[in-house]
């Protein structure tokens, strides 16, 4: 039996998929929009297509200290711009995983990664409330104005905590979310 909450959550996901799927299809071949240029600056835009697909409100890669060898997870990775920028910071010994529930955005992000020639990135289809990521395998979790779209924000935060790695029983990193409704860091 479907509960009212499940119906509402499904409706929200369907609406987000429709809007962001259309945005992915409309973004190909155009120049970066003005906000992307302001957030990321001309010098860090990895490609016009990736920047044009960006529906961001922040620049997570500029706000967190990402170093070589880290594994980073981007919740709601969209067209992949934040994943591409993080991949450059973690280098060839690190890895960045983007999760998005919109097939059109996943396809677009994979194309952007291929165009950028980055081998340390991957994109997985899934929701941020039920991450397709193994427990304890991620060092840093970022999100760029996506958690606000979730009908179950507490579940998103629980999933972020679940996938964060631990070293000797201690949190290895702090997971920060840049999302208008969640302006604080979430401790693992």
Mean pLDDT in consecutive groups of 10 residues from the start of the chain, 188 residues? 49 68 56 58 55 58 84 90 90 96 89 91 96 94 84 91 69 46 42
- Predicted confidence at residue 56, as pLDDT, reads 58
- What pLDDT sits at residue 149? 80
Is residue 145 within 8 A of residue 179, CB to CB? The reply is: yes
Q: How many CA atoms lie within 13 A of 168 on its CB side?
A: 0
How do the domains of the chain map onto residue ranges?
A: 4-186
Residues 108 and 24 sit within 8 Å (Cβ to Cβ): yes
- Give the model's pLDDT for residue 34: 60
Please name every residue paired with 96 in a beta bridge, in sequence order, or none if there are none. Answer: 72, 121
Pair of tokens at residue 120: 């340390």
Q: What is the pLDDT of residue 177?
A: 46
Q: Give residue 120's pLDDT.
A: 97
DSSP state of 148: G
Tell me, what's the pLDDT at 72?
94
Burial class (CB in 10 A: 0-12, 13-18, 19+), 44: middle
CATH annotation of 4-186: 3.40.50.150
How far, in Å, CA of 128 to CA of 74, rounded? 10
Cα 132 to its chain centre, rounded Å, is 13
* Predicted local distance difference test score (pLDDT) of residue 186: 44
């Amino acid at each position: 039996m479907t509960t009212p909450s499940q119906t509402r959550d499904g409706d929200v996901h369907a609406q987000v998929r429709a809007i962001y799927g259309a945005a992915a299809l409309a973004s190909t071949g155009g120049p970066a929009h003005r906000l992307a240029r302001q957030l990321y600056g001309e010098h860090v835009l990895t490609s016009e297509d990736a920047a044009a697909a960006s529906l961001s409100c922040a620049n997570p890669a500029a706000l967190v200290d990402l170093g070589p060898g880290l594994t980073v997870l981007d919740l709601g990775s969209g067209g992949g711009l934040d994943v591409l920028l993080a991949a450059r910071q973690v280098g060839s010994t690190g890895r960045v995983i983007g999760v998005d529930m919109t097939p059109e955005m996943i396809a677009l992000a994979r194309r952007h990664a291929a165009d950028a020639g980055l081998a340390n990135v991957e994109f997985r289809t899934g929701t941020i409330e039920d991450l397709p990521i193994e427990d304890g395998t991620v060092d840093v979790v970022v999100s760029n104005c996506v958690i606000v779209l979730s009908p179950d924000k507490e579940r998103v935060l629980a999933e972020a905590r679940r996938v964060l790695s631990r070293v000797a029983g201690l949190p290895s990193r702090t997971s920060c979310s840049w999302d208008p409704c969640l302006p604080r860091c979430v401790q693992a």
